[in-house]
């Protein structure tokens, strides 16, 4: 997204246009009136990454316009980033410029922030890092009160820790999350909270047990667990499932099991097509759970055909989508057996064409 697209004064009109496009995609499936959750017009992004441009003694953050990979655009101000990242950008650069050890062959700078003011800065290089770099980076970390990681080819130097600690308030309850560097997290924290609360409202009157696919670090899983007797959450990415298990422990949740399985593997297990040793960690057999509700937050490709069929066997479906087009594709099948009781749009990415959606489906009588 070019910074020229950032126009806070026109945000409401841009959101309305985007919502109309998405609504047109979902209208054929007879949803109720859409609930629309806007973002802040500025300072909403908790992640940012910039290339670094060297020109003699000059050192600047740069980005590249689409289709112009050789023309750097110097970034002096990044209004969509959190206030903490905006402040750190100039502070970090002021310490990098006069420091040969920290600036030599520096290629990229990445920021990961939280609403809890725990922030991580990753410095990426085209050279091997040594103890001299570690000493200088430790001083930068202390001066700015941030976590610092150094990366180069086949090398990762962690000064203290490679994660940040986030705390989200969901309907008045506090949930703690460990978010690892370079692992997926929702970039717009305020809208993420709205998404979680909406999903919890959908779950409010449901009974039985919950199955969640693509659980990530437990972003939705932890708050949803309070609405069900038992929860089984699955995720394939190793770093994400590691974080999810740590977050489960940190929040003292006892009715939730985290299993490292892909959506395709879960489908095979439920159908009895394969036996997975990883499921042996469950207190009882998967088929012995009262799984009436399924929660899915798939990647942009949406649900594959076999997972889509399996999801369609559940009484209730809570579906969070980062791609309205593939959501519409999945709804073509799911709408035969289910009705949409709630439909929501969440503007995670203002000034872009992207829109997060939520649909709550119940099986037809």
| Farthest-apart Cα atoms in the chain, separation | 71
**Sign, CA torsion 249/252/256/262:** negative
40 three-state secondary structure: coil
Among the listed residues 212, 235, 308, 356, the single catalytic one is: 356
Both tokens assigned to 224: 């949803």
Do the beta carbons of residue 344 and residue 357 sit within 8 Å? yes
Q: Which residue has the tokens 């629309």?
A: 36
Backbone angles phi, psi at 294, to 5 degrees: -125, 140
Among the listed residues 202, 215, 322, 357, the single catalytic one is: 322
157 has which bridge partners? 150
CA dist 324 and 357 (Å) reads 7
CA dist 191 and 65 (Å) reads 27
- With DSSP H G I counted as helix, E B as strand and the rest as coil, what are the percentages for the chain, rounded to 5? 35, 30, 35
- The question of whether 202 is a catalytic residue gets the answer no
- The question of whether 356 is a catalytic residue gets the answer yes
Catalytic residues: 322, 356
């Amino acid at each position: 997204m070019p910074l020229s697209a950032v126009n806070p004064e026109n945000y409401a009109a841009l959101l309305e246009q985007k919502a109309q496009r998405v609504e047109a995609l979902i209208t054929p499936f007879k949803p109720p009136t859409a609930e629309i959750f806007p973002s802040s017009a500025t300072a909403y992004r908790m992640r940012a990454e910039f290339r670094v441009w060297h020109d003699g003694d000059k050192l600047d953050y740069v980005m590249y316009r689409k289709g112009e990979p050789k023309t750097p655009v110097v970034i002096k101000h990044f209004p969509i980033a959190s206030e903490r990242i905006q402040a750190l950008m100039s502070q970090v650069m002021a310490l990098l410029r006069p420091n040969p050890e920290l600036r030599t062959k520096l290629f990229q700078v990445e920021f990961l922030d939280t609403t809890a003011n725990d922030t991580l800065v990753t410095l990426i290089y085209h050279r091997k890092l040594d103890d001299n770099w570690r000493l200088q980076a430790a001083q930068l970390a202390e001066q700015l009160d941030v976590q610092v990681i150094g990366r180069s080819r086949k090398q990762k130097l962690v000064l203290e820790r490679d994660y940040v600690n986030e705390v989200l308030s969901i309907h008045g309850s506090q949930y703690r999350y460990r978010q690892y560097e370079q692992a997926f997290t929702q970039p717009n924290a305020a809208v993420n909270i709205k998404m979680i609360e909406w999903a919890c409202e959908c779950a409010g009157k449901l009974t039985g047990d919950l199955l969640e696919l693509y659980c990530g670090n437990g972003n939705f899983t932890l708050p949803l667990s309070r609405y069900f007797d038992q929860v089984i959450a699955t995720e394939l990415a190793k770093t994400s499932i590691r974080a999810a298990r740590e977050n489960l422990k940190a929040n003292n949740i006892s009715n939730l099991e985290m299993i490292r399985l892909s959506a395709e593997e879960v489908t095979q297990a439920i159908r009895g097509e394969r036996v997975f040793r990883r499921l042996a960690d469950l207190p009882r057999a998967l088929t012995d759970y009262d799984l009436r509700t399924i929660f899915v937050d798939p990647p942009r490709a949406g649900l594959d055909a076999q997972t889509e069929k399996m999801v369609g066997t559940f009484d209730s479906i809570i579906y969070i989508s980062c791609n309205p087009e593939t959501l519409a594709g999945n709804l073509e099948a799911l709408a035969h057996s289910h009705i949409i009781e709630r439909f929501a749009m969440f503007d995670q990415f203002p000034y872009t064409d992207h829109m997060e959606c939520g649909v709550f489906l119940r099986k037809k009588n």
